[in-house]
Amino acid sequence: MKRIGILTSGGDAPGMNACIRAAVRTGLANDLAVVGIRRGYTGLIAGDGVPLDRRAIRNTIHMGGTILETSRSPDFYTREGRLKAAEAIERLGLDGIILIGGEGTFHGASLLAADADTAPLVGVPGSIDNDVYGTDYCIGFDTAANCAVEAIDRIRDTARSHERLFFIEVMGRTAGFLALESGIAGGAEELVIPEEEVSIARISERIRAGFITGKKSAIVVVAEGKTPGVSFEIAREVGERLNFDSRVVVLGHLQRGGPPTLRDRVLGSLLGVASVEALLEGQRECMVGEVGGNLRCTPLEETWQKKKPLNEDLVRIFPFLSE
Give me the CATH topology for the region 142-256: Rossmann fold (3.40.50)
Contact 136, 292 (CB under 8 A): yes
- Tell me the pLDDT tens digit for each residue of 245-283: 899 999 999 999 999 999 999 999 999 999 999 999 999
Q: Where are the beta strands (DSSP E) in the chain?
A: 3-8, 33-37, 49-51, 96-101, 121-125, 165-170, 190-192, 218-223, 246-250, 286-291, 294-299
pLDDT value, residue 64: 95
> Residue 14: its pLDDT value, please?
97
What is the per-residue pLDDT for 231? Answer: 92
Per-residue pLDDT, 195 = 93
Residues of the chain falling short of pLDDT 50: none
Amino acid 280: pLDDT:
98
Q: Where are the domains of the chain?
A: 3-140+260-305, 142-256
Q: Is the pTM of this model over 0.85?
A: yes
Q: Which CATH architecture has domain 3-140+260-305?
A: 3-Layer(aba) Sandwich (3.40)
129 given a catalytic annotation: yes
CA 290 from chain centre, in angstroms, equals 14
142-256 and 3-140+260-305 share a CATH fold:
yes
Among candidate residues 129, 131, 142, 264, the one labeled active-site is 129
